[in-house]
Structure 1
Amino acid sequence: MLSIDLRTFDPGIAAKSPFAYAAAVAECVEASWDEGADVVLLPEFTWMGLEPLVEPRSPRRVAEVFWNELFLTLKSLLNRPGKAVVLGTVPFWDAERGVLLNRAPILLGDRVLHQDKLHLTPWESDFAPGSELRLWEFAGLRFAVVICLDIEIPEISARLRGAGVDVVLVPSATETMLGVERVDRCASARAVELGVVVGVSHLTGTAESGLIDENVGRTAVYFPSQAAFRDEPRWVEGEVISSGTQTQRVVIDPRTFEVMRRMKQETNPSLLAALPAFEVVRE
């Protein structure tokens, strides 16, 4: 069995320094691990809560402080064999391209991976889109991290088709209930069409930041609507909150995916061959 903790996060915590803020985030992760979680997911822009603690206040400065001053300590604190964490997202300065990216740092024991956001909202004008969707293996399952708006993009789902993905983790940050609905309803669709478990964690609370001043959200998980999963709830959505935190534990039996994929006679969109090129005809 694999246990995943989906955790919302309120970036308005009362931290007096960037290192104190990082310690508070690390404590959240360690608490979940200590309570039996194997994987922890934190929301998009978790680290923009650093903005009031740095000068000058900007996403670029947050990137400098996180990657140059905090990340080495976080790697040491959160280096635990057999455990993994998606640390939400944080700005990353790509010196080679000369652009700022919205990046999710991923720690797997002593390994460091990442995923960049591919599609940007209109207010992410300081950022450039990433160019790769990265897949990674953990505890015998194949994972993808799909950040917020990216889960709403059907082309990304189409590219994942046939890639053998088992779990999609979605760090998200939204200001309104409509944003929560868009992300969560599309996450549910991806679970059905790809035959994967999709876990979502939204940012909550308020922060002194132009990007994340007000946030509403929840945790949510969606399973394939297939017979192999019929004995458990196939979607669980927390109450939408505008402050405070919420944690949802998701337990996955990897064997369930094997059973589902052997059931060739069951209607399962994830097992259907891709359609050849076709035209849309206007009558």
Structure 2
Amino acid sequence: MITLDLCTFDPGVVAKSPAAFAAVVVECVETSWGEGADIVLLPEFTWMGLEPLVEPKSLKRVAEVFWSELFPTLCSLLIRPGKAVVLGTAPFWDVESGALRNRAPILVGDQLLHQDKLHLTPWESDFAPGTELRLWEFAGLRFAVVICLDIEIPEISVSLRGRGVDVVLVPSATETVLGVERVDRCASARAVEMGSVVGVCHLTGKAASELIDENVGRTAVYFPSQAAFRDSPRWVEGEIFESGIHKQRVVISPRDLEVMRRMKQETNPALLESLPDFEVRLG
């Protein structure tokens, strides 16, 4: 069994410095690990809570402080054998392209990985979209991080078809209940389409940041609707919160995923090897 903690996060936490803010995040992760979690997921834009603590207040400065000043210490504290964490997302200045990315830092054992957001909302106009979706392995399972709006794009699941993705992690940030619903309802669809466990966590609270000034959210997990998962809840959606750190513990059974994939005679869209050619016609 693999244990996952989905965590909302409130970037408006009281902190007097970037290092103090980072300490709150570290405590959140270490507490989950100490209570038995193997992997922890934090929300999109967790690190925009640094904005009121830096000068000048800009996305590029937040990127500089996070990646140059805080990330080395985070790595020294959070690189653990047999543990993994997706540290939400932070702005990243891509020197080669001269563009900002919305990037999720991922620590998996002693590996340093990342995932950039591929599809951007209208208010992310200062960012450039990422160019690839990265898969990674942990505890014998294959993972993908799909950031917020990306989970609402069905072409994502088409691209991942047949690649053996066991778990999709969705860090998200939304201002309204409608945003929460869009992300979560699409996450549920991806669990059915891909035969994957899909875990979601949203940002909560208010922050002194134009980008994430108000946030509501929750945690949610969705399992495939297949016989191997019949005897346990196949979706669990938490209460929607306006503030605070809230956690949901998820237990993932590699055996259930393996059994599901062996059941070739069961109706399962994730096991379709090819799709028929067809035309879309009006009338």
Q: Secondary structure at the match of 1:69?
A: helix
Q: How far apart, in 2, do the equivalents of 1:221 and 1:92 lie?
A: 28
Distance 1:156 1:279 in 2: 21
Name the SS of the counterpart of 1:157 in structure 2.
helix
- Aligned pairs (5 A) from 1:98-247: 98-247=98-247
CA distance in 2, matches of 1:207, 1:131: 29
Counterpart code for 1:23: A
Gaps of 5+ in 2: none
Superposed displacement of residue 47, structure 1: 0.1
User: How far, CA to CA, are the matches of 1:244 and 1:22 in structure 2?
Assistant: 16
Deviation at 1:279, TM superposition (A): 1.4
Q: What 5-or-longer segments of structure 1 have no aligned partner?
A: none
Q: Cα deviations across residues 172-226 of structure 1 (Å, max 9, x unaligned)?
A: 0000000000000000000001000000000000100011100000000000000
Q: Secondary structure at the match of 2:36?
A: coil
Percent identical across equivalent pairs?
Answer: 80
Work out the CA distance in 2 between the residues paired with 1:252 and 1:120: 30
The question of 1:24 aligning with 2:24 is answered yes
Q: Distance in 2 between matches of 1:276 and 1:14?
A: 55
How far 1:134 moved relative to its partner? Answer: 0.1
Alpha-carbon shift at residue 281 of structure 1 (Å)? 1.1
Could you say which residue in structure 1 is the equivalent of 2:66? 66
Displacement after TM superposition at 1:99 (Å)? 0.2
Does structure 1 residue 271 correspond to structure 2 residue 271? Answer: yes
Cα shift at 1:253: 1.0
- Alpha-carbon distance in 1 for matches of 2:42, 2:115: 13
Q: TM-score, normalised by structure 1?
A: 0.99
Supply the AA of the counterpart residue of 1:281.
Answer: R
2: CA distance, partners of 1:79 / 1:194: 30
Deviation, 1:241, is: 0.8
Q: Could you tell me whether the CA contact under 8 Å between 1:44 and 1:88 is conserved in 2?
A: yes
In 1, Cα distance between equivalents of 2:211 and 2:148: 14
Provide the C-alpha distance between the structure 2 equivalents of 1:226 and 1:195, rounded to a whole number of angstroms. Answer: 8
Counterpart Cα distance in 1 of 2:34 and 2:245: 18
- Structure 1 window deviating more from structure 2 (104-113 vs 167-176): it is 104-113
Distance 1:49 1:125 in 2: 19
SS in 2 for 1:191: helix
How many angstroms apart in 2 are the aligned matches of 1:163 and 1:109?
Answer: 22
Residue 278 (structure 1) shift: 2.3
Shift in Å at residue 245 of structure 1? 2.0
Q: Would you say the 8 A contact 1:89–1:102 is kept in 2?
A: yes
Distance 2:98 2:251 in 1: 41
Counterpart CA distance in 2 for 1:135 and 1:110 is: 16
1:21-42, Cα deviation, whole Å (9 max, x unpaired):
0111011000000000000000
Quote the Cα distance in structure 2 between the aligned partners of 1:29 and 1:248: 13
Pair 1:254-2:263 in alignment:
no
Q: Which consecutive segments of 4 or more residues in structure 1 shift more than 2 A?
A: none
Q: Residues 6-25 of structure 1, C-alpha deviation per residue, up to 9 Å, x if partnerless?
A: 00000001000000101110
Is the CA contact 1:75–1:110 (under 8 Å) kept in the aligned structure 2?
no
Q: Note if contact 1:9-1:204 (Cα within 8 Å) is conserved in structure 2.
A: yes
Aligned residues: 283
Cα root mean square deviation, aligned: 0.6
User: Match of 1:119, as an amino acid?
Assistant: H
Deviations 1:132-163 (A, max 9, x none): 00000000000000000000001111001101
